[in-house]
Chains A and B, each alone.
Chain A
């Protein structure tokens, strides 16, 4: 039996599984840069890299699960802290430039539900659709995404902003979303094989996802790292097909894609230092670490919430 050990920590699943992807429900146009038949690995590129590359990410933590009692019925809710920040990386210096922290209490729309005042600050009330775990999770996630849009730095014309995860409406003049885990199959099997054949630093040709309302340019990029299996080290990048990169302007999209392909391999992490190497980039790892520290001590917050619950 020939086998390879996945570089990612088992807790995180795998970065991508070539045979187990769900088919995409979005419209995909794979002919924008090269005709499907001519697909081949592109690069690596020696495009000049931006002077400063920004990385934007957020973290979240549920501090306590709560029950809101209203009219004899108890409704589940969550108290959570989310934080978002940005890292600016130049050729000599990496620095966390901005950090935002928000604490919020998430409950279904129960009458009388309100913000919670604790000795360590206020948990702002955010209503969610129902008390189901999925809805609560979604509510927290939305708060985090919103916070991430707050920390988007004002950039120079050539600077690049890398968002962790799909863009989800976050944007900047030159922005790219970095998707570490591949769940969806956007390409046909023939093009999938091209992605599997990428060498370090090479990218796939561009393809366009989605209709005109929320179209994104996308491509696959292989980061340097151990080749345990065909898609090891592959990330999907997506760039918003917005005013800066309109759907018709392929040249501009190619240009940015080349810049991204030339920039990101430098930040790829190594397996002995990072559980999700190489896809979880070093600046993002460092940022997440810094953000988690800023979330505050969970036990302390829990205690403060207990005290607050007794006061009401």
Chain B
């Protein structure tokens, strides 16, 4: 008997009905019975004091079948549950659509009930764990891979879309490459789960344009091919009301300048209502604007006229707004230019074609790791908004759109409000019915908006910081699991799902796709010398 073993026992009621009680070993201990003092172990080892070794395990009950909650009787023999009985113990037997979610330590598959992920009964996944050791993103990609390839989605799998924001390093830019470090052992683990180890099939990688590059080539380092640039045209920026996403605290009622944000955004939208330009540029008051800097200049002139005697245009500033608020707005707007001017533009030929298209590939990776925090928030907010609006407009939940976003604490912080947080809350609370499923991750769930985490039906926890593990956001982890979460090794996580009262320890196989450029196995690389013959 060891930790995490699945066990079963039976009890016969006076009525003749047989009850099976299932559980998971949660604590094990061995002690000398007969020892009074700790130092008695030496006497016992020397053969001086008689004592017996007793081993005991504490079992947490996972299930009682049928649900008659009587205690197991002392002295009842306990057996290790295997095969079908294990499925019953972990409540897999009643799950119709099983999503492979990982392996137990004995290499047995562990499943999720898709009903709790696809919106039927619940939706969203939330993953917590410290950076580096917790392997949050790897697990998120594994879940996506399992969703797309396990067949659990049926025919729908082809049209199901994934969206991943690459927030750190270039980790996720190689999802379509084989992993050079893949071993046959790991491949077996995929087989065990009913999966074929392979990279993601249809991957579209987009990155923001290089700053200051008039040709708008994508700003990526390690990966040189197959990356498309993306940006928004000025026309889209004005028409779709994207201005508020530049201001992290635009929704904060205490900030006076938010009134100006709303007024300016409304004016911009009104100005482009009859915009005839097809190249993404906007024409307002006779001026054609092609870059974000030009647009900002234009707005500034509207708000702070060159002539000191002239009053600012009230349609742009909003009514009864003090000069201080206008200045605050202008200051924030101007400072944003250098962070986002490569993302909002119409100075490239065929600008509208650079719009982000989430439907082109099954999995879209949006690389934002090189962007400034402000630009990151802008991109995440706008992309989420577009995905959300598209789903809302289509009116049907299927096919599903999965969104993987790390560092939720940055986008949906517990205190403070912002347009991005609003859109994330929308996704968390209404995404289930719209078919937008958020796979969110963060180092510390305690710093993320409670409602975003609370709406996740499935919680996953990797290695936790000791202080963090004690917070009540992890109330779904019983005490022992909470302690063990602080020493989990990479690739191990606790998975909590609504069907089971206690979280399961899972391991997931090594990614079959490259997670950094060193792992990317390219055809022919390393075997031939490109300079041969020179």
Are these two chains actual partners, yes or no? Answer: yes
The chain A residues found within 8 Å of chain B, CB to CB, are 87, 89-96, 266-267, 272-273, 282-283, 285-287, 289-290
Q: Is the CB of B40 within 8 A of A94?
A: no
Knowing A92-B45, A94-B44, A282-B43 are in contact, say whether A290-B36 is a contact too (CB < 8 A): no
Nearest 9 pairs of A and B residues by beta carbon: A94-B50, A286-B50, A286-B49, A282-B48, A94-B47, A282-B49, A87-B50, A93-B47, A96-B50
A90, A91, A92, A285: which contacts B49 (Cβ < 8 A)? A285
Q: Is the CB of A91 within 8 A of B34?
A: no
B51 to A: closest C-beta gap in Å? 7
Contacts of B21-79 to chain A: CB distance below 8 A: 34, 36-37, 39-40, 43-52
Q: Is the CB of B48 within 8 A of A94?
A: yes
Q: Is the CB of A94 within 8 A of B51?
A: yes
Q: Kindly report which residue of chain B lies nearest to residue A88, judged by CB atoms.
A: B50
Point out the residues of chain A lying under 8 angstroms from B51, CB to CB: 94, 286
A232 to B: closest C-beta gap in Å? 21
13 more CB-based (< 8 A) A-B contacts, given A91-B46, A94-B48: A87-B50, A89-B47, A89-B50, A94-B44, A94-B47, A94-B49, A266-B48, A272-B37, A273-B37, A273-B40, A282-B48, A285-B49, A290-B50
Q: Kindly report which residue of chain B lies nearest to residue A52, judged by CB atoms.
A: B47
Q: Is the CB of B48 within 8 A of A267?
A: yes
Point out the residues of chain A lying under 8 angstroms from B39, CB to CB: 273
Instruction: Give the complex CA separation of A298 and B49 in angstroms.
Output: 26
Instruction: Give the complex CA separation of A210 and B39 in angstroms.
Output: 43
Point out the residues of chain A lying under 8 angstroms from B50, CB to CB: 87, 89, 94-96, 283, 286-287, 290
Point out the residues of chain A lying under 8 angstroms from B47, CB to CB: 89-94
Point out the residues of chain B lying under 8 angstroms from A289, CB to CB: 34, 36
Instruction: Give the complex CA separation of A266 and B49 in angstroms.
Output: 11
B1 to A: closest C-beta gap in Å? 23
Instruction: Give the complex CA separation of A236 and B37 in angstroms.
Output: 28
Instruction: Give the complex CA separation of A283 and B36 in angstroms.
Output: 13
- Of the candidates B40, B43, B49, B52, the one having the most CB atoms from chain A within 10 angstroms of its own CB is B49
Point out the residues of chain A lying under 8 angstroms from B44, CB to CB: 94
Instruction: Give the complex CA separation of A49 and B45 in angstroms.
Output: 18
Point out the residues of chain B lying under 8 angstroms from A89, CB to CB: 47-48, 50
Instruction: Give the complex CA separation of A219 and B51 in angstroms.
Output: 31
Point out the residues of chain A lying under 8 angstroms from B45, CB to CB: 92
Query: Can you name 19 A-B residue pairings with CB atoms under 8 Å?
Result: A87-B50, A90-B47, A92-B45, A92-B47, A93-B47, A94-B51, A96-B50, A96-B52, A266-B48, A267-B48, A272-B37, A273-B39, A282-B43, A282-B48, A282-B49, A285-B49, A287-B50, A289-B36, A290-B34
Q: Is the CB of A283 within 8 A of B34?
A: no
Point out the residues of chain B lying under 8 angstroms from A96, CB to CB: 50, 52
Contact with A along B134-163 (1 / 0, CB 8 A): 000000000000000000000000000000
Instruction: Give the complex CA separation of A96 and B46 in angstroms.
Output: 15
Point out the residues of chain B lying under 8 angstroms from A90, CB to CB: 47
Point out the residues of chain A lying under 8 angstroms from B34, CB to CB: 286, 289-290
Q: Is the CB of B46 within 8 A of A283?
A: no
A284 to B: closest C-beta gap in Å? 10
Point out the residues of chain B lying under 8 angstroms from A267, CB to CB: 48
Q: Is the CB of A273 within 8 A of B36?
A: yes
Point out the residues of chain B lying under 8 angstroms from A290, CB to CB: 34, 50
Instruction: Give the complex CA separation of A300 and B437 in angstroms.
Output: 61
Q: Is the CB of A92 within 8 A of B46?
A: yes
Instruction: Give the complex CA separation of A92 and B45 in angstroms.
Output: 6
Instruction: Give the complex CA separation of A282 and B44 in angstroms.
Output: 10
Contact with A along B285-314 (1 / 0, CB 8 A): 000000000000000000000000000000
Point out the residues of chain B lying under 8 angstroms from A87, CB to CB: 50
Contact with A along B448-491 (1 / 0, CB 8 A): 00000000000000000000000000000000000000000000
A55 to B: closest C-beta gap in Å? 9
Instruction: Give the complex CA separation of A96 and B47 in angstroms.
Output: 11
Point out the residues of chain A lying under 8 angstroms from B43, CB to CB: 282
Q: Kindly report which residue of chain B lies nearest to residue A285, judged by CB atoms.
A: B49
Instruction: Give the complex CA separation of A289 and B49 in angstroms.
Output: 11
Q: Kindly report which residue of chain B lies nearest to residue A95, judged by CB atoms.
A: B50
Instruction: Give the complex CA separation of A282 and B47 in angstroms.
Output: 10
Point out the residues of chain A lying under 8 angstroms from B49, CB to CB: 94, 282-283, 285-286
B41 to A: closest C-beta gap in Å? 12
Instruction: Give the complex CA separation of A167 and B48 in angstroms.
Output: 22
Q: Kindly report which residue of chain A lies nearest to residue B35, judged by CB atoms.
A: A286
Q: Kindly report which residue of chain B lies nearest to residue A289, judged by CB atoms.
A: B34
A260 to B: closest C-beta gap in Å? 16
Q: Kindly report which residue of chain A lies nearest to residue B44, judged by CB atoms.
A: A94
Q: Kindly report which residue of chain B lies nearest to residue A55, judged by CB atoms.
A: B50
B17 to A: closest C-beta gap in Å? 27
Point out the residues of chain A lying under 8 angstroms from B52, CB to CB: 96
- Of the candidates B39, B43, B50, B51, the one having the most CB atoms from chain A within 10 angstroms of its own CB is B50
A167 to B: closest C-beta gap in Å? 22
A290 to B: closest C-beta gap in Å? 6
A285 to B: closest C-beta gap in Å? 7
Instruction: Give the complex CA separation of A56 and B137 in angstroms.
Output: 66
A22 to B: closest C-beta gap in Å? 33
Instruction: Give the complex CA separation of A267 and B43 in angstroms.
Output: 9
Point out the residues of chain A lying under 8 angstroms from B36, CB to CB: 273, 289
B203 to A: closest C-beta gap in Å? 64
Point out the residues of chain B lying under 8 angstroms from A95, CB to CB: 50
Q: Kindly report which residue of chain B lies nearest to residue A266, judged by CB atoms.
A: B48
Q: Kindly report which residue of chain B lies nearest to residue A268, judged by CB atoms.
A: B48
B145 to A: closest C-beta gap in Å? 54
Knowing A289-B34, A290-B34 are in contact, say whether A283-B48 is a contact too (CB < 8 A): yes
Contacts of B215-234 to chain A: CB distance below 8 A: none
B342 to A: closest C-beta gap in Å? 77
Instruction: Give the complex CA separation of A58 and B36 in angstroms.
Output: 20
Instruction: Give the complex CA separation of A87 and B52 in angstroms.
Output: 12
Point out the residues of chain B lying under 8 angstroms from A266, CB to CB: 46, 48
Instruction: Give the complex CA separation of A14 and B37 in angstroms.
Output: 24
Point out the residues of chain B lying under 8 angstroms from A283, CB to CB: 48-50
B54 to A: closest C-beta gap in Å? 13
B46 to A: closest C-beta gap in Å? 7
Point out the residues of chain A lying under 8 angstroms from B40, CB to CB: 273
Point out the residues of chain B lying under 8 angstroms from A93, CB to CB: 47
Instruction: Give the complex CA separation of A90 and B48 in angstroms.
Output: 8
Point out the residues of chain B lying under 8 angstroms from A92, CB to CB: 45-47
Q: Kindly report which residue of chain A lies nearest to residue B37, judged by CB atoms.
A: A273
Instruction: Give the complex CA separation of A33 and B36 in angstroms.
Output: 42
Instruction: Give the complex CA separation of A183 and B529 in angstroms.
Output: 100
Instruction: Give the complex CA separation of A90 and B47 in angstroms.
Output: 6
Instruction: Give the complex CA separation of A282 and B50 in angstroms.
Output: 8
Contacts of B252-267 to chain A: CB distance below 8 A: none
Instruction: Give the complex CA separation of A287 and B44 in angstroms.
Output: 13
